[in-house]
Amino acid sequence: MLYDLIVIGSGPAGQKAALQGARSGKRVAIIDDHPMLGGGCLHWGTMPSKSFRESVYRWSLSSRGSLGRDTDDAALTEKKATLPEMKRLLQRKNRVVEKDSQVVRENLEKCGVRIYHGRATLQTAHDVEIRSESGTKKISGAYIVVATGARPVSGPQVPVDGKLVLDSDSILSLKKVPKTMVVLGAGIIGCEYASMFSTAGTKVFLVDRRHEILASVDREIVDQLQGRFEQQDMEIVLEAEATKIEKQPGGKGVVVHLNTGRQIKAEVVLVAQGRRGNTENMGLEALGISPDERGLLKVDEHFRTVQTNIYAVGDVIGSPALASTSMEQGRIAACHAFRVEDGREMYRMPELYPYGIYTIPEISMVGRTEEDCRADRTVDLVIGRAHYRDVGRGQIVGDRWGLLKILFDRKTHKILGVHIIGDSAADLIHIGQAVMQLGGDLYYFINSVFNYPTLAEAYKLAAMDALNQIRKTS
């Protein structure tokens, strides 16, 4: 079969590339080696973890959860007598994964995308072989998009067995919520799962070799998160690395040996120490496309590899490795291949995009951090802050930890960054993102009417806080 576009991988990056190609009137095929469509994002990444989070969060608000009792300090620190049932916490995830996979298939089919299941290998820059249990097929395409994603890695000293030592692909196969857990790696995935299990009542030890958690996030926001973690009885162990995991006889937990000499006993370990691109045995090297030591592919600003008809998008090209950015990369690659006119012919990722971190409480940010601005001598920084407890909706939802902080340039009043921790942070951030992107400034918030009561009102309060400071010093 001859196609205009062949997409390898049906995660967010591949889906959007395929849909854009089909909507541009092209003949498109998509290939995935998983029996269900949706990619790692749907089957073992974003969607399972966020569905699990939702269940844990809702459970925690119930009478048996620690957040359900007017969120006072005592309730947070109180030892939980009963842990929620893992089976029940996973019901939402199972429903979401099944339903969403159908939605992905329907969307692709509706647009006329031909779906193949099997493992894809590139024979030439235009020919793809698909191997599956039912045999081998060959298809050809003018353009190819590699969207094969990434998978977790673990060092030899922390071998993952999927039972006592788990990674983000296997953590939700746990049969019960453990009483104790060591999480190795305090990046986004490690912090998210540490916070979910901690909220469910697990005693979590969060271990990282660095001196801080979530290194790229605004420190004030991380301090808030860390305060919340510690109040929930999570122990954060920094500047420490696991040298060995000793399994207890009879599968009764593990002892994690750290290079500091400390030993931590726990029921299970979650290893969240990085990911590697899925690029092995795909025939890429023979075409001059050489993955780096982490299996990642190098691309230009339009997501082309050195073989210019072969694009690579999503986790397989590395940072930022988010579902959100992967989707846009996929769409842009297909637009570039077929020179789809979008009025601007940008075919590039926008410089400004948000990050969402689904810890409990959630974090979101766009633009520069306070640390970054302070290190820049050309910036005259003023920071407006609003606590959720100071807006009506914050009181209603009972989020007394929430904080929204906006970084402004004192002279131009332009927004340099927005950082939020608290309920709905990942949704709220888009207000700041839109105002930034459209060139608005502090007065947008001052002169706008916000729905009441909403958390969004915190933008206005934060802007007023900044304006007061500007007026005092001018």
Ligand X SMILES: Cc1cc2nc3c(=O)[nH]c(=O)nc-3n(C[C@H](O)[C@H](O)[C@H](O)COP(=O)(O)OP(=O)(O)OC[C@H]3O[C@@H](n4cnc5c(N)ncnc54)[C@H](O)[C@@H]3O)c2cc1C
Q: Which is nearer to ligand X, 198 or 258 (CB)?
A: 198
Label residues 78-94 b or e (16+ Cβ within 10 Å = b): eebeebbebeebbebbe
In angstroms, the CA 182 to CA 264 distance is 8
Site string for ligand X, 358-397 (x = CB under 6 A): x---------------------------------------
CA 311, chain centre distance (Å): 23
User: Which residues between 332 and 361 bind ligand X (CB under 6 A)?
Assistant: 356, 358
**187 binding ligand X? (CB under 6 A):** no
Q: Which is nearer to ligand X, 46 or 369 (CB)?
A: 46
Contacts of 328 (CB under 8 A, 6+ apart): 16, 349, 350, 353
Stretch in the footprint of ligand X (CB under 6 A) among 103-111, 313-321, 431-439, 458-466? 313-321
* Closest distance to ligand X from the beta carbon of 105 (Å): 13
Of 34 and 410, which CB lies nearer to ligand X in the complex structure? 34
Residue in 24, 132, 180, 324 binding ligand X, rule: CB under 6 A: 324
Nearer to ligand X, 128 or 467 (CB): 128
Nearest to 147 by CA among 49, 245, 345, 7: 7
Phi and psi for 105 in degrees, rounded to 5? Answer: -60, -45
E strand or H helix at 269, and its extent? strand 268-271
What is the C-alpha to C-alpha distance for residues 362 and 325, in angstroms, rounded to an integer? 19
List binders of ligand X among 26-55 (CB under 6 A).
31-34, 39-41, 45-46, 49-50
Structure tokens at 370: 């306070």
Backbone angles phi, psi at 301, to 5 degrees: -65, -15
Check binding of 296 to ligand X (CB under 6 A). no
Q: Which is nearer to ligand X, 45 or 291 (CB)?
A: 45
CB of 31 to ligand X, least distance (A): 5
Say how far apart CA 215 and CA 235 lie, in whole Å. Answer: 18
**314 touches ligand X (CB under 6 A):** yes
Nearer to ligand X, 8 or 425 (CB): 8
Cα 300 from Cα 348, distance rounded (Å)? 10
Q: How far apart are CA 132 and CA 110, in angstroms?
A: 24
Contact track, ligand X, 220-259, x by CB under 6 A: ----------------------------------------
Applying CB under 6 A, among 172, 174, 322, 335 the residue interacting with ligand X is: 322
Q: How far is the CB of 116 from ligand X (least distance, A)?
A: 9
How far the first Cα of the chain sits from its last, in Å, is: 70
Q: For residue 106, which amino acid is it? A: E
Q: Is 33 or 465 the residue whose CB approaches ligand X more closely? A: 33
Type and span of the H or E element at 420: strand 415-421
CA distance linking residue 245 with residue 165, whole number of Å: 8
The site for ligand X, by CB under 6 A, has a size of: 37
C-beta closer to ligand X: residue 8 or 174: 8
Minimum CB separation of residue 312 from ligand X in Å reads 9
Listed residue (51, 365, 45) closest to 222, CA to CA: 365
From the number of C-beta atoms within 10 Å of its C-beta (0-12, 13-18, 19+), residue 255 rates as middle
Among 189, 340, 360, 456, binds ligand X (CB under 6 A): 189
User: How near is the Cβ of 269 to ligand X at its closest, in Å?
Assistant: 16
- Nearer Cβ to ligand X (40/291): 40
Among 3, 5, 10, 420, which residue interacts with ligand X (rule: CB under 6 A)? 10
Residue with tokens 């994603």: 149
Q: Which stretch binds ligand X (CB under 6 A): 7-15, 59-67, 290-298, 407-415?
A: 7-15
Burial (CB count <10 Å: 0-12, 13-18, 19+), residue 188: buried
Site stretch for ligand X (CB under 6 A), options 133-141, 283-291, 317-325, 428-436: 317-325
- The two beta strands, 254-258 and 242-247, are antiparallel
**Residue 432 touches ligand X, criterion: CB under 6 A:** no
Which lies closer to ligand X via its Cβ, residue 86 or residue 446? 86
Binding of ligand X by 278 (CB under 6 A): yes
3-class DSSP state of 45: coil
Per CB under 6 A, 100 contacts ligand X: no
Q: What is the contact surface with ligand X in residues (CB under 6 A)?
A: 8-14, 31-34, 39-41, 45-46, 49-50, 119-120, 147-149, 168, 189, 278, 282, 314-316, 321-324, 326, 356, 358
